């Protein structure tokens, strides 16, 4: 090894990258710099059109700079653009669809603030004269209440430029690791930091690494699992798309720590933008000498390859993931042997979730003690939560593990609207419901399990009075039923039975006989019986955690289940198939109002004669019932 210890880390890159090219918002600019945040979320919201209109606005005037950056994390602000003009700090605007581009640019280029609806915040800096009456971006409630460690500088970093990442102290942890620390030391640091797997298993990452490091075999693999498929979870995509170099740095450190010479990023093939950016980032990293042979003259070779997964939910389970990489059918295998002893192609393999990997550089930069300043009980560090549902904002936030549900609610929903909230569903298909009484519980791994929840990959779905618990449960069980690999009986057959029972509860009976009613009543006890079997005997985490949604629902919203079963009523009016509208012939005078109002043309009849509802056409909207003045339309 060459003597690299005295060099500061940025000088390691000096030959390979041109750091001075990286734009810095803290320095004054001559010509206008326009930051556009391009990621899957903002593309859907129309950032591409916005970019086109920006280009059109400047037309042949080349006196401006367009900078493509990653996302701030909050998708409901998309499309977001940031503008920095001469002498002024960077200011961000939200929801800038193409039609507002010229308005905003017109005013801001003339040093006038546009309408306040669009203004998000500014990042003031000494030497730059701040915009008056514009809040500081990072002092906004939504950002100030977060603890952004992984997401630090998101929205400023350009995913397609390694210079931009290095400028924000990127690859410092890796450079220092590879030049100053041994593999065992790195494992120790990670183990002591108490970092646990963010994919759902919550196993101590350092211990996993040590196990793999200490196996005798020489060929080892490191796999970063970015195969995110949970409904309602999009934090993995955010990381890969908006800061691919952070992912690569984490992988490099991990691969170095377990002595793996080959690392893989397993990512869904549908995440096209993420794949594109990762591929580009890998190319740049190789050019900068970060991957490949003899990295920084240390004599260590690490190669990273992207593996596009076919996109099955079960392939997020590590043994199934490995099987699918080997070209086999993606089904889990019984453990032991664990992948850290016998994994990819029979070699020791470490599989880490993308979020776990992204935590690694922070720990090495700031140390385990600093890392442990966030967290509760035995769950240290921060966790990304994907917020969606009936909230004011949608997007990914980063908070300390152990933060209470109520605190997260404060970030994503205003105090006035909070009483409307009926429940929060945490953890995707493997998670469960929380009712407002339990909003005070802390979301660390142990407390979550005690409350029949799983943090999973961190989805946070907020439900209000218009959502039906049974309907949501049905959605998740259907997802499990479709995505179960079909190997083990409890999961395959159990989820099928659960779905059938839930359908029976939430739809009107196909025949009105005693047997059908008996099955409906038996449903609830059977839900519990099957759920407990699945938890105890399923082969992998998918089946074991699948019933959490049902069990927590039964525990906290039993009343809603009973309403569906006994009264055949859905308060949220979501399970419309529970009802059947019919005309009471004696009451109907044949006025025809219902037939006119029916949106589905399901009511027929001649004037002054009793009308009739065609059940196959009826969409159960209830308009006819509301419009009838003679009480002639009833519900069965």
Partner 1 sequence: MTITCYINNTKQKADSNETILSVLNRIGISIPTLCNMKELSPTGACRLCVVEDAETGELITSCSTPVRENMKIFTHSPEVINARKTIIELLLANHPENCLYCDKSGNCELQKLSEDLNIREKVFYGDLMSRKTDRSSPGIVRDMSKCILCGRCVRICDEILGISAIDLINRGKNTSIETVFQKGLFYSDCIHCGLCVTACPTGAIMAKSSINQVIEKLGNNKTTKSIMIPTTTIANIAVSYNIRKYEDARNMLVAALHSIGFNKVYPMSLFNDFFISEATSIIQNRLKNSPQPLIITDCPAIKKYIQIKEPELVEFLCKIPAPQQIGAKILSMQESTDLLMSVSPCIAHKYEAVQTQNTNKGVPEIDFVLTSDELDKLLKTLGITLPFTRKETPDNPANSDSSAGVFFETKHGITEGIVRELFHRSDLSVQLNRIIEIKPEKDFIEYEFEINKTYYSVACISGIENLVKYKKQILQGNYLFVEVRSCKSGCIDGCGQKLTDSQDSQKRLRKTLSEYDEKTSNNTPGKNPFIKGFYRNNKLGNIF
Q: Which is nearer to partner 1, 303 or 500 (CB)?
A: 500
**Pairing of β 81-84 and β 33-37:** antiparallel
Q: Which is nearer to partner 1, 103 or 529 (CB)?
A: 529
232: cis peptide before it, omega within 30°? no
Long-range contacts of residues 435-438, Cβ cutoff 8 Å, at least 24 apart = 435/556, 435/557, 438/405, 438/556
Q: Of 20-28, 146-154, 330-338, 619-627, which part binds partner 1 (CB under 8 A)?
A: 330-338
- Of the candidate residues 2, 329, 465, 596, the single one contacting partner 1 (CB under 8 A): 329
- Of the candidate residues 486, 567, 604, 617, the single one contacting partner 1 (CB under 8 A): 486
Residue 500 found at the interface with partner 1 (CB under 8 A): yes
- As measured in angstroms, the least distance from the Cβ of 510 to partner 1 is 11
Q: Which is nearer to partner 1, 431 or 490 (CB)?
A: 490
Q: Residue 385 and residue 23: Cα distance in Å, rounded?
A: 30
Q: Of 101-109, 401-409, 476-484, 550-558, which part binds partner 1 (CB under 8 A)?
A: 476-484
> In 3D, which of 75, 84, 69, 71 has the Cα closest to residue 134?
84
Q: Residue 200 and residue 210: Cα distance in Å, rounded?
A: 20
359: enclosing H helix or E strand:
helix 354-366
Q: Of 75-83, 128-136, 491-499, 505-513, which part binds partner 1 (CB under 8 A)?
A: 491-499
SS3 305: strand
Q: Which is nearer to partner 1, 272 or 532 (CB)?
A: 532
Residue 323 found at the interface with partner 1 (CB under 8 A): no
Residue 147 found at the interface with partner 1 (CB under 8 A): no
- Of the candidate residues 34, 81, 533, 632, the single one contacting partner 1 (CB under 8 A): 533
Q: Which is nearer to partner 1, 238 or 505 (CB)?
A: 505
How many angstroms separate the first and last alpha carbons of the chain? 82
Residue 135 found at the interface with partner 1 (CB under 8 A): no
79: cis peptide before it, omega within 30°? yes
Q: Residue 584 and residue 357: Cα distance in Å, rounded?
A: 65
Query: Beta partners for 304?
Result: 263
- As measured in angstroms, the least distance from the Cβ of 529 to partner 1 is 6
- Of the candidate residues 363, 463, 488, 633, the single one contacting partner 1 (CB under 8 A): 488
Answer whether 1's CB lies under 8 Å from 52's CB: no
Q: Residue 589 and residue 508: Cα distance in Å, rounded?
A: 28
Q: Of 83-91, 130-138, 425-433, 528-536, which part binds partner 1 (CB under 8 A)?
A: 528-536
337: cis peptide before it, omega within 30°? yes
Q: How would DSSP label each residue in 536-555? A: HH-SSHHHHHTTHHHHHHHH
Q: Which residues in the 228-257 window bind partner 1 by CB under 8 A?
A: none
> In 3D, which of 305, 306, 323 has the Cα closest to residue 314?
323
Residue 539 found at the interface with partner 1 (CB under 8 A): yes
Residue 457 found at the interface with partner 1 (CB under 8 A): no
Number of residues counted as binding partner 1 (CB under 8 A): 33
Q: Return left, alpha or beta for 193; rule: phi > 0 is left, psi -120 to 50 is alpha, else beta.
A: alpha
244-257 vs 235-242: helix axis angle to the nearest 10?
A: 100
Binding mask 361-400 for partner 1 (x = CB under 8 A): ----------------------------------------
Q: Which residues in the 293-322 window bind partner 1 by CB under 8 A?
A: 312, 314
- Of the candidate residues 17, 101, 530, 570, the single one contacting partner 1 (CB under 8 A): 530
Angle CA(469)–CA(474)–CA(479) in degrees, nearest 5? 130
165: enclosing H helix or E strand:
helix 162-167
Residue 336 found at the interface with partner 1 (CB under 8 A): yes
Q: Which residues in the 180-209 window bind partner 1 by CB under 8 A?
A: none
Answer whether 101's CB lies under 8 Å from 118's CB: no
Q: Of 352-360, 415-423, 529-537, 580-588, which part binds partner 1 (CB under 8 A)?
A: 529-537
Residue 487 found at the interface with partner 1 (CB under 8 A): yes
Q: Which is nearer to partner 1, 497 or 579 (CB)?
A: 497
- As measured in angstroms, the least distance from the Cβ of 503 to partner 1 is 10
Residue 442 found at the interface with partner 1 (CB under 8 A): no
Q: Which residues have C-beta within 8 Å of that of residue 14, sequence separation ≥ 6?
A: none
- Of the candidate residues 149, 208, 383, 497, the single one contacting partner 1 (CB under 8 A): 497
- Of the candidate residues 4, 113, 306, 489, the single one contacting partner 1 (CB under 8 A): 489
> In 3D, which of 457, 447, 473 has the Cα closest to residue 555?
473
- Of the candidate residues 24, 76, 372, 526, the single one contacting partner 1 (CB under 8 A): 526
Q: Residue 82 and residue 121: Cα distance in Å, rounded?
A: 9
SS3 80: coil
Residue 481 found at the interface with partner 1 (CB under 8 A): yes
- Of the candidate residues 5, 60, 514, 536, the single one contacting partner 1 (CB under 8 A): 536
Q: Of 124-132, 155-163, 223-231, 486-494, which part binds partner 1 (CB under 8 A)?
A: 486-494
> In 3D, which of 384, 401, 403, 354 has the Cα closest to residue 460?
384
**Pairing of β 119-123 and β 633-635:** unpaired
Q: Which is nearer to partner 1, 442 or 545 (CB)?
A: 545
Residue 495 found at the interface with partner 1 (CB under 8 A): yes
- The phi, psi pair for 380, rounded to 5°, reads -105, 160
- As measured in angstroms, the least distance from the Cβ of 334 to partner 1 is 4
- Of the candidate residues 485, 603, 624, 628, the single one contacting partner 1 (CB under 8 A): 485
Q: Which residues in the 59-78 window bind partner 1 by CB under 8 A?
A: none
- Of the candidate residues 33, 277, 333, 579, the single one contacting partner 1 (CB under 8 A): 333
- Of the candidate residues 76, 97, 214, 537, the single one contacting partner 1 (CB under 8 A): 537
Answer whether 224's CB lies under 8 Å from 265's CB: yes
Q: Which is nearer to partner 1, 409 or 539 (CB)?
A: 539
Chain residues in the site for partner 1 (CB under 8 A) = 312, 314, 329, 331, 333-334, 336, 481-490, 492-497, 500, 519, 526, 529-530, 533, 536-539
């Amino acid at each position: 090894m060459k003597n690299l210890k005295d060099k500061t880390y940025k000088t390691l890159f000096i030959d390979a990258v041109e750091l001075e090219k990286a734009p810095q918002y803290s320095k004054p600019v001559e010509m206008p710099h326009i930051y556009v945040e391009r990621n899957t979320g903002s593309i859907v919201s129309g950032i591409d059109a916005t970019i086109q209109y920006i280009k059109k606005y400047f037309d042949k005037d080349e006196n401006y700079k367009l900078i493509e950056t990653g996302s701030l994390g909050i998708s409901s602000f998309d499309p977001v653009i940031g503008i920095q003009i001469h002498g002024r700090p960077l200011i961000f605007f939200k929801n800038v669809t193409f039609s507002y581009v010229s308005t905003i640019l017109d005013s801001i280029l003339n040093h006038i603030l546009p309408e306040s609806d669009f203004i998000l915040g500014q990042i003031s800096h000494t030497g730059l004269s701040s915009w008056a009456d514009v809040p500081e971006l990072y002092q906004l409630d939504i950002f100030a209440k977060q603890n952004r460690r992984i997401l630090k500088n998101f929205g400023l970093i350009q995913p397609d430029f390694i210079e931009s990442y290095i400028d924000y102290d990127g690859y410092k942890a890796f450079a220092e690791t590879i030049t100053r620390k041994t593999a065992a030391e790195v494992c120790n640091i990670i183990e002591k930091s108490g970092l646990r797997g963010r994919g759902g298993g919550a196993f101590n990452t350092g211990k996993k690494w040590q196990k793999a490091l200490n196996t005798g075999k020489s060929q080892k693999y490191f796999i970063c699992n970015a195969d995110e498929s949970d409904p309602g979870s999009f934090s993995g995509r955010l990381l890969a798309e908006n800061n691919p170099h952070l992912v690569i740095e984490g992988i490099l450190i991990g691969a170095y720590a377990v002595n793996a010479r080959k690392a893989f990023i397993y990512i869904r093939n549908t995440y096209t933008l993420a794949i594109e950016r990762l591929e580009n980032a890998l190319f740049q990293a190789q050019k900068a000498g970060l991957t490949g042979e003899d990295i920084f003259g240390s004599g260590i070779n690490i190669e990273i390859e992207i593996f596009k997964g076919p996109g099955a939910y079960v392939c997020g389970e590590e043994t199934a993931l490995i099987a699918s990489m080997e070209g086999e059918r993606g089904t889990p295998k019984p453990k032991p042997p664990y992948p850290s002893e016998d994994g990819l192609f029979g070699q020791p393999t470490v599989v880490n979730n993308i979020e776990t990997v992204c935590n690694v550089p922070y720990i090495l930069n700031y140390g385990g003690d600093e890392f442990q300043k966030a967290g509760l009980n035995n769950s240290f560090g921060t966790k990304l939560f994907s917020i969606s549902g009936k909230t004011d904002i949608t997007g990914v936030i980063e908070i300390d593990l152990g933060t209470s549900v109520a605190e997260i609610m404060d970030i994503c929903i205003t105090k006035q609207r909070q009483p409307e909230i009926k429940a929060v569903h945490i953890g995707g298909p493997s998670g469960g419901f929380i009712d407002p009484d339990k909003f005070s519980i802390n979301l660390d791994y142990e407390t979550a399990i005690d409350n029949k929840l799983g943090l999973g990959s961190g989805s946070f779905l907020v439900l209000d009075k218009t959502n039906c618990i049974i309907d949501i449960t049905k959605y998740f069980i259907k997802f499990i039923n479709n995505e179960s690999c079909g190997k083990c009986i409890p999961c395959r057959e159990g989820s099928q039975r659960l779905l059938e029972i839930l359908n029976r509860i939430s739809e009107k009976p196909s025949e009105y006989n005693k047997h059908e009613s008996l099955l409906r009543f038996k449903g609830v006890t059977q839900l519990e019986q099957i759920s407990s079997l699945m938890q105890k005997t399923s082969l992998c985490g998918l089946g074991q955690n699948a019933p959490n949604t049902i069990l927590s629902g039964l525990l906290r919203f039993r009343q809603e289940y009973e309403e569906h079963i006994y009264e055949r009523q859905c308060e949220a009016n979501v399970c419309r198939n529970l009802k059947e509208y019919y005309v009471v012939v004696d009451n109907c005078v044949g006025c025809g109002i219902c037939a006119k109002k029916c949106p589905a043309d399901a009511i027929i009849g001649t004037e002054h004669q009793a009308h009739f509802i065609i059940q196959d056409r009826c969409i159960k909207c209830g308009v006819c019932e509301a419009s009838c003045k003679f009480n002639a339309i009833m519900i069965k």
